[in-house]
Structure 1
Amino acid sequence: MITKHYNLLLADDDEDDCDFFREALSETTIKAELFTVHDGVQLMNYLEKNGLENFPDVIFLDLNMPRKNGIECLTEIKENKDWKNLPIIIFSTSLDNEIVNNLYQKGATYYIRKPGEFSKLKTVIEKALKIASENNFKQPERANFILQP
């Protein structure tokens, strides 16, 4: 059971996906506060404006967002000395092996393909935080990078 209280940040432009994620998170054993932003520019502004009190423990990052996509955000975050150790779990509908390899090389912590089923979403959110926490939010070997529900 996860006992830590997490500040989670979900960056996703789809309001329905954000609601789905929030509802699934609320039905897990995870104690968390969820903040949401709806594009890459909002994500970067959030990180710049929030101090330690609301700074996220983990970012769930969608790849396909307007104004600045997830790959651009991941790159900027990992190049920033203050943010480079921030765990980023890619949360996307696509599963292109070349893109996944690129995300791994850029330093994403894990990759999750968005499940369509509510029960699988609950499972994969809980699994992601449990495994990441057990590994001190360090990037795993490439073979363990993609998490399945």
Structure 2
Amino acid sequence: MTKEHYYLLLADDDEDDCLFFKEALDEITVSTALSMVHDGVQLMEYLKNNISNLPDVVFLDLNMPRKNGLECLAEIKDDENLKNLPIIIFSTSLDGEIVDKVYQKGASFYIRKPGDFSKLKSVIEKALTIAPENNFKQPERANFILQP
């Protein structure tokens, strides 16, 4: 699924993280368009209202109000219209148990939010160049966590 241009959806309640993500996209070589939602309820409403125009990839934070990322991931993978949507977990946490859980639930990749802007650019670009090579299909567990 390597494309010239990716339509991304970021689900994250942290305004600073959203701003850094958008700024990082502006500086990478992959062409993108970005939409954002700020909690899990907004995410699910957005996806259900845009079934005919789904994003190419969802970057999903785990710790959000109203409905967390784990709940959203489960709901997406249980929905016939959404189950093939690539989900990249984008979280500050790197708890092994949580990583295992989102892997089992079908996330495509896991990214721990880097604090450094250059690493953020690097890991996003890596996600958008490596992941499409295998059509955003989930890799072996050993390659599930993307590092900058």
User: Given the two structures, how large is their TM-score scaled by the length of structure 1?
Assistant: 0.96
Report the alpha carbon displacement of residue 3 of structure 1 after superposing the two structures with TM: 5.1
Aligned match of 2:50: 50
* Per-residue CA distance 1:34-61 (angstroms, 9 max, x = gap): 00000000000000111433x2100000
Q: In the alignment, what sits opposite 2:73?
A: 74
TM superposition outliers: structure 1 runs of 4+ over 2 Å: none
User: 2:9 matched to which residue of 1?
Assistant: 9
Count of residue pairs brought into register by the alignment: 147
**Partner Cα separation in structure 2 for residue 134 and residue 146 of structure 1:** 16
Question: SS of 2:52's equivalent?
Answer: coil
CA shift at 1:71, angstroms? 0.1
Partner of 1:131: 130
Identity of aligned residues (%): 73
Q: Deviations over 1:119-144 (max 9, x none)?
A: 00000000011111001110000000
Q: Work out whether residues 3 and 30 of structure 1, in 8 Å CA contact, stay in contact via their aligned partners in 2.
A: no
Residue type at the aligned position of 1:73? C
Shift of 1:113: 0.3
CA RMSD after TM alignment: 1.0
Partner in structure 1 of residue 94 of structure 2: 95
Alignment partners' CA distance in 2, 1:62 and 1:4: 25
SS, match of residue 52 in structure 1: helix
Amino acid at match of 1:113: R
User: CA deviation digits over 1:10-31, x for unaligned, max 9?
Assistant: 0000011000000001100111
> Are positions 1:109 and 2:102 aligned together?
no
Q: Unpaired runs of 5+ in structure 1? A: none
Paired residue for 1:85? 84
